[in-house]
Amino acid sequence: MTSVAPPTVTSSHIPTSSKYQLPQLPSIPAANPQRQILDAFRLAAASLIAEAWGEDPAKIFEGCDVGKKGADLAVAIPRFKKGKPDEWAAKVLEAFQPSNYLSKVSFEKPFLAFTFNKESFTYHVLRQIQLCSLAARQEPSNPTLPYGAVNENEGKLMVIDFSSPNIAKPFHAGHLRSTIIGAVISNMHEAFGWKVKRINYLGDWGTQYGKLSIGFDRYGSEEELVKDPIKHLFKVYVKINEDDAAEEARYNAGEEIDSETTVHALAKKVFKDMEDGEPKAIAQWSRFRDLSIEALVGVYDKLNIHFDEYWGESQVRKESMQRAIDICLEKKLTCEDRGALLVDLMEWKMDRAIIRKADGTTIYLTRDLGGAYDKYEKYHFDKHIYVVQAAQSLHFRQLYKTLELMEEPYYKEGVFEHVSFGMVNGMSTRKGTVVFLDDILEEAKEVMHEQMRSNEEKYRQIEDPETTSAIIGQTAVKIQDLSGKRVNDYTFNMQRCTSFEGDFGPFIQYSHVRLCSVQRKNPNVPIASSSDDIDISILSDPKIYDMIYHLSIFPTTLRTAYTNNEPSTLVHWCFKISHLVGAAWESVKVSGAEEEEAKARLFLYLRTREVLAYAMRLLSLTPIERM
């Protein structure tokens, strides 16, 4: 087994003191000290145990758990060894020698509990953060340079479909969840080296657009359409659906109705014209789509979210959909029911799924089958994620199984993934009305603006209160959504999510503002260029060590969030570091401290700010400096 040199980060900076030099350790695939310094300290414990027990350090490394049993590291002896734990512990205790990695080991039955060399650990955590942050500032276009990021998927491309609102319908809570979760998943994948293509797969095709066309002919207004396309088309859509419902009620009451002139029949005809490429039908639909996308871009700008492509059901090529149907027929995967063609997935307990309606028009599954082929032909992706509500789980199981049965060459286990999420309840304004996302963001902005005005002195120092209140408002909305596990339902509450008290979005922004204020309020304190330029021994307060330890686990936290596509993991890290900053704020002051002490503490707060700001940007938040 080869050995690895002490952890370094690519930089012109080299430690000037041998005081904190780290001894060489064996190299194992699971450890990456160059990007996560905590791995070096875990590996030191694993190497000690492995040598004492005659085991492979790679095996022991996986069992070196952080944050358990009140120790820096804990290893459960029964996980690796049978027999009496105290006898195995004695071997390790006998072999132990304090080093720049570890200062103490004890037996806390049945665990081995390790204490880091706190001074050395503090030095290396702060050094790694500072060097990574410096590299990231020097090359801001490279998302794999910040502390916690790792370029381990270079050359791989991921396509991600998220947001996916329907043209002419409200941008509802489900689309908001997909938008926010999808943005964070995209950012995290870029942090681990993926090239990411963000696609907004719009719901812009289907019989409902035939209905919208009929509705616009009856109730549409050119002036209102240009002024606010999404809201106007929604009003039109509501009115035409009311006409449809009224016709159905009259029919159910026994009234004779011309089946050729009903809203439903006319809508089907218009959609058939759209599928056949009839110029007038396509021209009107295209105008609705283009105006709606233009309005949506404005909404996404408010959310600090962007897309590489606005695609959609309408953009799937006819040839690709027909190709999918032909393959299903050729491989005898289909059956017919009242003129409709279905893929029979009963054998896999997935029911039967329509791929061509009785009138020859397409449906969701057809378009997703053709769309998967089109996207692969264009991007040759290595991974494709769909961020869609859990209610659509059956649809995606049917899609993936059908691709597998079609023996599509690009379909492989693990390439396609449906990232699902739960429902949002109660998303409405104070008036209790059905709302658009714009209304929610505007109200969150107003609430935050009101709170900011309550402190006149601080309010006067804010250069752009309107923009600042908008950023805090969207932070509040996003963090309420992201703070719970994505599979869980939650109830939206404007009053709670805009609160500065408790674990909500404004609290994270407030913590970042606090960290920014330290340097601003202490202009005479020299800024150390590296951890070699401060006296590390000064940073001995237990509250400081709590911060250092939590900073050290950020790379692990980020990897866990990335692996599980779980933004809430990252949110809770932000809450915890914010609480730790708050706990240290009054006792670990820069103002009024002796020069060397102030210099060291300022260095600590600046490094904490860098990591918190990066975590916030991964969560698609905009860190602010005053509020």
Q: Which residues are catalytic?
A: 169, 172, 175
Query: 92: which 2 tokens?
Result: 């390790």
Single-letter residue type at 317: R
Q: Which of 73, 102, 105 is nearest to 92 (CA)?
A: 105
Containing 190, the helix (H) or strand (E) segment is helix 173-191
Question: How many whole angstroms separate alpha carbon 582 and alpha carbon 585?
Answer: 5
Distance in Å from the first CA to the final CA of the chain: 54
Q: What are phi and psi of 337, to 5 degrees?
A: -150, 110
Which residue do the tokens 């809770």 mark? 572
Question: How many whole angstroms separate alpha carbon 605 and alpha carbon 147?
Answer: 15
Question: How many whole angstroms separate alpha carbon 332 and alpha carbon 329?
Answer: 5
Containing 342, the helix (H) or strand (E) segment is strand 340-344
CA 309 → CA 172, 184, 199, 618, distances in Å?
21, 17, 5, 20
**Cα atoms in the Cβ-side hemisphere of radius 13 Å centred on 251:** 13
68 Cα distance to chain centroid: 27
Q: Which of 510, 521, 509, 515 is nearest to 603 (CA)?
A: 515
Query: 198: which 2 tokens?
Result: 């963000």
